[in-house]
Structure 1
Amino acid sequence: MKTLIKIHPTDNIAIALVDFAAGSEVVFEERPITFLEKTKAKHKIALDDLNVGDAVYMYGVLVGKAVKPIKKGGLLTTENVKHQSHVTTGKTETTSWVPPDISAWKDRTFMGYHRPDGQVGTANVWLFFPLVFCENRNIEVLKEVFEKELAYHRPTKHQLMLRNLLKPTSGSELAKEEEPEGFFNTIEVKFITHQGGCGGIRQDSQLLAKLLAGYVNNPNVAGATVLSLGCQNLQIDIFKKALEAINPDFQKPVLIYEQQKMGTVEEMLSTIIKDSFEAIKKADQIQRQPAPLSKIKLGLECGGSDGFSGISANPALGYASDILSAVGGSPILSEFPELCGVEQELVNRCVDDADAARFLELMRDYEKSVVDAGSGFDMNPSPGNIKDGLITDAMKSAGAAKKGGTSPVTAVLDYGEYVTKPGLNLLCTPGNDVESTTAMAGSGANMIVFTTGLGTPTGNPITPVIKVSSNSELAAKMSDIIDVDAGPVIKGEKTIEEMGEEMLEYIIKVASGEIKSKAMLLNQNDFIPWKRGVSL
């Protein structure tokens, strides 16, 4: 088993695959290396002496600079290395691409829900949501009514535990966990709330309208019930125009109610419940049918990353992404702050020069807004990232970008824009896990794969989210949230390609409804819109 790895031939640092004590000696690339400090797995050491100002390379790209001397075998830390990345001003070459062998995949199908506009869903959801936060309470009331009466969520083991604590009984009379008995066959009823729609600048409401329109247009959604107060910034007309802009041929049922025109809350909720129930019954009649893999729009996400994410889970997902691109599917790479440092590679992969220019413009504008707020992309690694070996933003970014594989970039989209082109799409979102997954679902992702090295329970109300661990220890420790373990790559038991194919097989099973991802089983329905502007 390997104990030390260098990712790219030009790198001058290596990653420890196991823990090393200070003074440990290994032979690496036919050279003796002595570990000068205690080095935990996932952390990096210098392969040569580094002087102050020397560049640090990983994945073949610039990821930092030494701010203190680092001897060969010395541990890289936030004290001796700071963020530095290559400055990209435009396209320097057009990257050629050799797609993977897709002979085993080109005729594969999944069982999905076909929509009138040609999109295919991996789920069949009726969605309730408000246009403004003032309607959140009414959404919560509707959620309680529908979920209780449709038996989606019988008492959980924790509710039963509290019930037994409140009313102590003999052991034989303890309340027991029950299996839910759903009223419907294929439809799921989901509810989202948010804190927007009014009170901020008008641009915030317009962006929220685009996001919500994207959710309704997402092929996983069969129809929606929308609540409006009436006086808010996000008017019904703005939402309708946003929906028409995304899909002029939109044909799904959307029920919209405005409280200030309907009288009492009781009258409004009664009407909503009756109307929605009838519409949901019709949507429940939609059945799964075969669809080509080209109908999958796959969101690529990472969160709670560690020092192994960029060498196991992310590149394996990148290989699955490349296969999907090659068969006509649409992978989506987002989290623009986590692409800092790899801009040149992505620019060179853009098919259209206009997309290359737009990507750089979006990156510059985003970074400027961050700097104006008193921060910077170089402050992106979280304490958890740093603890597990990701000590600069460029280092984190270089590993995060591996999710996007090596395929050409066919489109660059701003937040709220909808994916329409096959091939790899770049979508401008924050690096925040939930804001990013929220945005990808709003741009049409009907599946999301989320890699993690530390563990995170993130899910989405309309799009299945699959969790992939970068290491086997996490998969064993948090087995209730991890679907696929990429740890065998670290242990040398599987190649990146084998792991990527295993992921794609799992994606197909979840997309077909054969199995539910752990986030779905946990009913993890996270939704956080990105608020770009300020409150007024």
Structure 2
Amino acid sequence: MSKVIQLNSKDSVVISIKEIAKGEVINVQGEGKNSIEIPIRTDIPRGHKILAKPRKKGEDIFKYGYSIGKAKKDLEEGEWIHTHNLQSGLSGILNYEYQPITQPNIPKALNYTFQGYIRENGEVGIRNEIWIINTVGCINKTCELLAKMATEQFRDERVDGIYHFPHPYGCSQLGDDLTNTQKHLAALTQHPNAGGILVVGLGCENNQIEAFKEVIGEYATDRIKFLKAQEVEDELEKGISLISELVAHANQYKRQPIPLSKLKIGLKCGGSDGFSGITANPLVGAVSDIVVASGGTAILTEVPEMFGAETLLMSRAKNEETFNKIKNLVNDFKEYFIRHNQEIYENPSPGNKDGGISTLEEKSLGCTQKGGHSRVEDVVSYGERVIKSGLNLVNAPGNDLISVTALAAAGAHIVLFTTGRGTPLGGPVPTVKISTNSELAHRKKHWIDYNAGRLIEDQTIEELKHDLLQYILNVASGQTQTNNERLGFREISIFKEGVIL
């Protein structure tokens, strides 16, 4: 098997599948059917880039068929291409024009089903859990103890578990920060993966239960209960009593066949490497296209990791109004960077760089592949719920836990989380960790749920996309638990920008 892979005939680079030593000579397909021999000028780590065509200083270097930056100096074929000799070609706030493209061939709709729960309002859930949502961080430990006690007491019931998601906010917050906290917690209380919700307040916080109810809007009183700790003699005793009522209510729900069109998947990557845009991300994109073609919903976020690839998403906007929403989404986040005197285009983390990603446009071109080729139907604000089927963009940063929380708040039943470096993280909904390479999948079996590294070994994307989709349907049906569920790794994080009193 070849030690390198070329992703597009326009590319200036090839990607090393294995470590390559200085002095080796590799064969790369050239123009037509001819191959060219490239002498390797330095040791090349696995997943990193090798120059296949000489480049002058300032010239573009291509990967995925697009520029991923410019050469810092004159470069010869066989050189290792990374941060030492490649720099971003992006700068400043850009002007965009609406230039729609013809949508490429999309997959046929599939009549697949999963076993889910139908709630009173007609929404569908894939878990029947009890969630404890606290309005303020002061009572994190109270709610944690309440969840532990309730788990012991109701372990023989048919609910899928009783969980609490700690956070530090809800008091001493002002303006948008308080609004963001309220909107996110309210969205979680309405999430259909929970058969019952207990909202616990302290009593003196900014996020008062009475105000919080207004943010929640209409709700089923037998599915959502409220407890203000300062107003009862024993909040644990009262909490257990209310959870008992919620458990009894949740026990009424039964799994039943649900069409794929009702499924909402969140799309996320973290700890990326040089294989992310070659294996896991395009595989998830292929699955996303199937879900969307079947009437379902895919939700893509991580706005800073769209920088450099945003025009690809803009060209797929369903109309000019949606194009303008995408433009504002991107430019508003760039303005956020500028307000805080941060470099807009300095994004890849140390782990990303170690894995072979050199510039923001390289990361973005790989990251956005998770959205497949579907038309962008809508853009949703941070903390808002998705209401349109199809591919949606949600405003949130790239931070793993914040963006996973935003996807859940937007309504994702399940998050597909691609990673080349690995992470144990899990959100409030099942979080499927998909490795970009087989080495990670074998080494971190307690983190990784699915191995996309097989795409550079012995399987095609056509084969694996149906296999991954079936795995997702098994998770949705409760037949399979993700590692984050099995190990109890469930967390939330809420975006903060402003002042705390």
TM over 0.5: yes
Q: Is 1:279 the counterpart of 2:279 in the alignment?
A: no
Aligned to 1:258: 228
70, 77, 86: which one aligns with 2:82: 77
Select 2:383's aligned residue among 412, 416, 426: 416
Q: Summarize deviations over 1:28-70 as a string: whole Å, max 9, x none.
A: 1222211111111200012222222111222122221112222
What are the within-5 Å matches in structure 2 for residues 112-191 of structure 1?
112-150=116-154, 182-191=155-164
Where 2:76 maps in the other structure, the secondary structure is coil
Q: Deviations over 1:184-241 (max 9, x none)?
A: 1234211111111122322211111111111111111112111112332222233222
- In structure 2, how many angstroms separate the alpha carbons of the residues matched to 1:116 and 1:347? 37
Contact kept? 2:222, 2:246, Cα under 8 Å: no
Which residue number in structure 1 is paired with residue 32 of structure 2?
none
Paired residues of 1:187 and 1:283 also in contact (CA < 8 A)? no
Alignment-derived partner of residue 179 in structure 2? 206
Do 1:467 and 1:483's aligned partners in 2 also have CA atoms closer than 8 Å? Answer: yes
Distance 2:245 2:220 in 1: 20
Separation in 2, partners of 1:249, 1:191: 20
In the TM superposition, what are the counterparts of 1:259-338 in structure 2 within 5 Å?
Answer: 259-260=229-230, 262-264=231-233, 266=234, 268-338=235-305
Tell me the matched-pair count.
495
> Does the 8 Å CA contact 1:97/1:407 hold for their aligned counterparts?
yes
How far is the alpha carbon of 1:467 from its aligned partner? 1.2
| CA distance in structure 2 between the aligned counterparts of 1:56 and 1:289, rounded to whole angstroms | 52
Give the letter aligned to residue 479 of structure 1: K
Q: How does 1:485-504 map to 2 (within 5 A)?
A: 485-491=451-457, 493-504=458-469
- In structure 2, relative to structure 1, the CA distance for the partners of 1:502 and 1:59 (3 Å cut) is same
- What is the CA-CA distance between 1:252 and the residue it aligns to? 5.8
The yes-or-no answer on 1:240 pairing with 2:213 is yes
Single out whichever of 14-23 and 290-299 deviates more from structure 2: 14-23
Name the CA distance, whole Å, in 2 between partners of 1:149 and 1:118.
30
- Equivalent residues of 1:224, 1:254 under 8 A apart: yes
**How far 1:294 moved relative to its partner?**
0.7
CA distance in 2, matches of 1:221, 1:115: 9
Structure 2: distance between partners of 1:101 and 1:258: 50
Equivalent AA in structure 1 for residue 368 of structure 2: A
Where 2:10 maps in the other structure, the secondary structure is: coil
Query: CA–CA distance in 2 between the matches of 1:520 and 1:84?
Result: 41
- Look up the match of 2:398: 431
Q: Conserved in 1, the CA contact under 8 Å of 2:110 and 2:290?
A: no
Checking the alignment, whether the CA contact within 8 Å between 2:232 and 2:238 is kept in structure 1 is: no
RMSD between aligned residues: 1.7
Distance in 2 (alpha carbons) for counterparts of 1:250 and 1:299: 26
Q: Is the 8 A contact 1:302 1:450 kept in 2?
A: yes
Q: Are the structure 2 counterparts of residues 147 and 250 from structure 1 closer, same or farther at C-alpha, using a change threshold of 3 Å?
A: closer
Tell me, yes or no, if the aligned pair for 1:126 and 1:190 is still in contact at 8 Å: yes
1:415, 1:234 → 2: CA distance? Answer: 18
Cα 1:28–1:535 shift into 2, 3 Å = same
Q: Check conservation: 1:4, 1:16, Cα contact below 8 A.
A: yes
State the secondary structure of the residue aligned to 2:357. coil
Cα distance change, pair 352–230 in 1 and its aligned pair in 2 (3 A): farther
Secondary structure of residue in 2 paired with 1:95: coil
The residue that corresponds to 1:95 in the other structure is 101
Corresponding residue number in structure 1 for 2:430? 464
Query: Quick one: which of 509, 517, 523 aligns to 2:474?
Result: 509
- Answer yes or no: is the 8 Å Cα contact 2:98–2:320 preserved in 1: no
Question: d(CA) in 1 for partners of 2:295 and 2:97?
Answer: 25
Residue type at the aligned position of 1:70: L
TM (norm. structure 1) is 0.89
Displacement, 1:250?
5.5
Shift of 1:402: 0.8
Give the aligned partner of residue 219 of structure 1.
192
Matched residue, 2:314? 347
Give unmatched runs, 5+ long, in structure 1.
Answer: 151-181
Structure 1 residues 91 and 210: alpha-carbon distance in aligned structure 2, compared to 1, 3 A threshold: same
CA offset digits 1:504-528 (Å, max 9, x no partner) = 1100000001111111111110211
**Is the 8 Å Cα contact of residues 448 and 465 (structure 1) preserved in structure 2?**
yes
The match for 1:19 is 19
Conserved in 2, the CA contact under 8 Å of 1:111 and 1:291? yes
Is 1:400–2:367 an aligned residue pair?
A: yes
1 CA distance for matches of 2:162 and 2:257? 23
- Mapped pair 1:390 → 2:394: no
CA distance in 1, matches of 2:150, 2:243: 10
Deviation at residue 258 of structure 1 after TM alignment: 2.1
Give the CA deviation at 1:289: 0.4
For structure 2, the 5+ residue unaligned runs are 30-34
Task: Provide the secondary structure at the position in 2 that maps to 1:207.
Answer: helix
Query: Is the 1:63–1:85 contact (alpha carbons within 8 Å) kept by the matching residues of 2?
Result: no
Q: Are the structure 2 counterparts of residues 252 and 43 from structure 1 closer, same or farther at C-alpha, using a change threshold of 3 Å?
A: farther
